[in-house]
Copies of this chain bind each other. A is one copy, B any other.
């Protein structure tokens, strides 16, 4: 049996709204993560694993890594189906998978992720409470899959950096900065011409330290050669002062004809 095959799958539909898409009509990466996390919250609620229930155990779920394969970004007014599964867990880490599909059941994106529970008092990672994972019919395993580690970011003369102030409205009802907003900071640092001439292929994300309301983060990026002539790699870091908050590596498809 494949890992996580026994786990319950939850699905829901979402129409991509104009305010979730960029000027080219492609859904933003922030929205892709927003709707994936929405589906996982809806699954959790449906299983009685509400935020309140999780908090009553003295913890909160925190994502530490994402690895995303993107076949095609959803576009404006398209209705997609999001499927989510809490596939497996070991004593400290939970492995969750997401599939985003179009109306013809073609895969648009496949996202894997690693989650931990953090103590609300100490803000430290604590052992997973079985009560918080068994309702997903997650598979108890010794080792969960390792997600690719983003390239270790190095500042060079060619690094592009921009500051972003964390806003009041970046904090969502979960009381933390919605970490999908990191993607707006990460990608906005790239020139508009770059964003128009490239489509996302793969994204590896590793979160390290949480950013807080009022912080000014620095989003930095290096543009690197890809494995193929028509691909480019970007290596990103979000930092607050000297503290690294996350590192991201993105593989892009260079388009023969840029988006308009």
What residues make up the interface of A, taking CB atoms closer than 8 Å to B? 17-19, 21-25, 28, 30, 34, 37-38, 41, 76, 162, 165, 167-169, 171-175, 178, 180, 184, 187-188, 190, 192, 195, 213-214
Residues of B within 8 A of A168 (CB): 22-23, 187-188, 190, 192, 195
Find A38's partner among B19, B162, B188 (CB 8 Å cutoff).
B19
Copies in the complex: 2
- In whole Å, how far is A158's beta carbon from the nearest beta carbon of chain B? 20
Identity of the chain B residue whose Cβ is nearest the Cβ of A185 in the assembled complex:
B167
Residues of B within 8 A of A41 (CB): 18
Please measure, in the bound complex, the distance between the C-alpha atom of A23 and the C-alpha atom of B172, giving whole angstroms: 5
Excluding A19-B172, A169-B187, 6 further A-B contacts by CB distance (< 8 Å) are: A18-B41, A18-B173, A18-B174, A18-B178, A168-B195, A192-B214
- In whole Å, how far is A144's beta carbon from the nearest beta carbon of chain B? 26
Best-surrounded residue of A41, A165, A167, A184 (most CB of chain B within 10 A):
A167
Residues of B within 8 A of A28 (CB): 169
Find A213's partner among B17, B38, B192 (CB 8 Å cutoff).
B192
